[in-house]
Amino acid sequence: MQLKVQPIDIKVGKYKVVLNSIDAKELGVIEGDRVRVRNHESLTAIVDFTEDMIPPGMIGVYHELQQKLNKQWTETVEVTPASRPKSARLIRKIMDRQILTKDEIYEIVRGIVDESLSDIELSAFITSTYINDLTDDETEWLTRAMIDTGEKIEFDSHPIMDKHSIGGVPGNKISLLIVPIVAANGLLIPKTSSRAITGAGGTADLMEVLAPVDFSASEIKEMTEKVGGVLVWGGGTNIAPADDKLIKIEYPLKVDPHSQLLASIMAKKGAVGADHVVMDIPMGAGTKIPDIKTGRKLSRDLINLGERLGMTVECALTYGSSPVGRTVGPALEVREAFRVLESMEGPNSLIEKSTVIAGMMLEMGGIAGKGNGQELAMETLKNGKALEKMKQIIEVQGGDPGVTSADIIIGEHSIQLFAPTNGYILEFDNKRIVEIARIAGAPADKGAGVVIHKKRGEPVKKNEPVLTIYSEKKWKLDNAIKSAQLNLPIVVEGMLIERVPTYREL
Ligand SMILES: O=P(O)(O)OC[C@H]1O[C@H](OP(=O)(O)O)[C@H](O)[C@@H]1O
Ligand SMILES: O=c1cc[nH]c(=O)[nH]1
């Protein structure tokens, strides 16, 4: 069928077209099917439907496909039904618990990278791997395919250090301290991070408060060689490009399937040529890892996958039942981390966790003797070398190296929530804290988030503030307050939890 092209200047992240339902019926396609669009070249696109936006005889072409067709633009195109790509059919095999071959896994990853899989198919891929774990071989191939379908960095000098957190604990801003500590001690650390997956601010969202995070592989190499380290967004590079496309699907689903998590993390490490990696595995109620047994199993899986890929991996099982530090949300977290860099002023949970992990890295990199890493990491914070290095990192990434914690802008609208009674913080719901920060606008609105005045186990007096919610927009703050009041993330109780009388009135 010949259709007249109607450009639609909207980016949808895929090759997509819109057909009038009359033409779609004529072609025998429904929403989510594919069509071949042919002018001088031939491309497959996913079909959207409309009753009125596009009249019969025309085809709406979204931005990405326009860019492709633009090379040899024509007024009309030939449109024919196309079959689903092989990668889409392979996802069904995972649902049926069949084991995929290496070639099949590569086919799926190519389908993710070249945008030929629809969001529905991608979410089926995520969901089926959430339900049915991939085998060790499949996970290795998934990781390798994610590395091989993107750019890789080869450094001339080694060792290359790296760290990664599996996420799942709110306020985990430790990379902002670890990277400068490690780089200040002469090791190279080209740290790529994801944006938030299940949280209210991933490290890439946080670093973006201070400097751009979007760089090519060659820029990352150059910047790391210049100042020793970077804190960049993995999705902004062409490093493991499938990763961010999968994370975009995981984010609304709020899931991070085991095999995807392994591949997502290790692909980013493999692509930058990491030699030694420390993994942070937050554990406990409300995290991705409910208990130590599951944490040890994940550690073994990460260590084994590292061995298969030629990296030494050590894992740190860390306390995750309470947020790290007292802030959740990009700008608030950056300000808290910066205060530690500036003056060691800050929560012990943040300083201790950051220096323990940085210490492990200094030992693995041969800079500190066994058992002395944390002391050296602490010293690097105290003597201001980590702050100096952080400023170099900010500058090399194009931010303002003169920035101080006082310059970081927090959302202008805020409200405090108060303790209803004297007592102790008996329960503290990490997931609710994240949810409230997200409703307030985090991570997209950098100034949105939550300050935690009282953590689990701490004593509190009636009417003392327990949380402050910040937002850049009044209406988002109102929604966050409503959500917090409907289901408070904190339970305050006195020492007496409930008095049960001799006789209860029924
Ligand atoms: O949103 P949730 O699932 O909590 O965690 C995702 C965060 O965890 C990792 O942190 P890092 O890069 O090691 O600092 C990721 O890169 C991302 O920033
Ligand atoms: O980078 C990350 C971190 C946690 N989970 C992932 O899937 N990727």
**In this predicted model, what pLDDT tens digit does every residue of 36-92 receive, in sequence order?**
998 777 888 999 988 888 999 999 999 988 888 776 667 899 999 998 889 989 999
Given a contact cutoff of 8 angstroms between Cβ atoms, the answer to whether 359 and 373 are in contact is yes
Protein residues whose CB sits closer than 6 Å to any atom of ligand 2: 166-167, 194, 197, 256, 260-261, 264-265
Specify the residue for token string 């939550």.
Answer: 450
SS3 427: strand
Give the residue among 98, 94, 406, 399 at the shortest CA–CA distance from 260.
94
Q: Is ligand 1 within 6 A of the CB of residue 380?
A: no
| Cα dihedral across residues 310, 315, 321, 327: positive or negative | negative
Beta-bridge partners for 80: 36
| First-last CA distance in the chain | 74
Q: Is ligand 1 within 6 A of the CB of residue 3?
A: no
From the number of C-beta atoms within 10 Å of its C-beta (0-12, 13-18, 19+), residue 504 rates as exposed
How far apart are the CA of 433 and the centre of ligand 1, in A? Answer: 16
Q: How many CB atoms lie within 10 A of CB 405?
A: 17
How far apart are the CA of 166 and the centre of ligand 2, in A? Answer: 5
User: pTM of the full predicted structure?
Assistant: 0.88
Ligand 2: atom nearest CA of 194 is 1
* Phi, psi of 352, deg, nearest 5: -65, -45
How far apart are the CA of 447 and the centre of ligand 1, in A? Answer: 19
Q: Is ligand 1 within 6 A of the CB of residue 264?
A: no
CB under 8 Å to 492, separation ≥6 — which residues? 419, 420, 421, 423, 424, 425, 426, 460, 466
How far apart are the CA of 151 and the centre of ligand 1, in A? Answer: 21
CB under 8 Å to 208, separation ≥6 — which residues? 233, 330, 446
Ligand 1: atom nearest CA of 203 is 18
Structural domains present in the chain: 2-82 (2.40.40.20), 86-132 (1.20.970.10), 161-193+200-232+272-405 (3.40.1030.10), 413-493 (3.90.1170.30)
CB under 8 Å to 93, separation ≥6 — which residues? 100, 104
Given a contact cutoff of 8 angstroms between Cβ atoms, the answer to whether 442 and 330 are in contact is yes
How many helices and strands (H and E) does the chain possess? Answer: 18, 18
Given a contact cutoff of 8 angstroms between Cβ atoms, the answer to whether 83 and 36 are in contact is no
**In this predicted model, what pLDDT tens digit does every residue of 251-302 receive, in sequence order?**
889 889 999 999 999 999 999 999 999 999 999 988 999 999 999 999 999 9
CB under 8 Å to 487, separation ≥6 — which residues? 432
pLDDT tens digit at each of 506 positions of the chain: 999 999 999 998 889 999 999 999 999 999 989 999 987 778 889 999 888 889 999 999 999 888 887 766 678 999 999 988 899 899 999 999 999 999 999 999 999 998 889 889 999 999 999 999 999 999 999 999 999 999 999 999 999 999 999 999 999 999 999 999 999 999 999 999 999 999 999 999 999 999 999 999 999 999 999 999 999 999 888 999 999 999 999 988 988 999 999 999 999 999 999 999 999 999 998 899 999 999 999 999 999 999 999 999 999 999 999 999 999 999 999 999 999 999 999 999 999 999 999 999 999 999 999 999 999 999 999 999 999 999 999 999 999 999 999 999 999 999 999 998 999 998 889 999 999 999 999 999 999 999 999 999 999 999 999 999 999 999 999 999 999 998 888 888 876 666 788 876 55
Specify the residue for token string 């692509």.
Answer: 271
Nearest CA to ligand 2 atom 4: 166
SS3 115: coil
- For residues 410 and 223, give the distance between their C-alpha atoms in angstroms, rounded to a whole number: 29
Tokens of 395: 């500058």
- For residues 188 and 63, give the distance between their C-alpha atoms in angstroms, rounded to a whole number: 39
Whether the bond into 443 is cis, omega within 30 of 0: yes
Given a contact cutoff of 8 angstroms between Cβ atoms, the answer to whether 47 and 21 are in contact is no
Q: Is ligand 1 within 6 A of the CB of residue 164?
A: yes
DSSP state of 230: E
Beta-bridge partners for 81: 35
Amino acid in the structure at residue 25: K
Given a contact cutoff of 8 angstroms between Cβ atoms, the answer to whether 32 and 81 are in contact is no
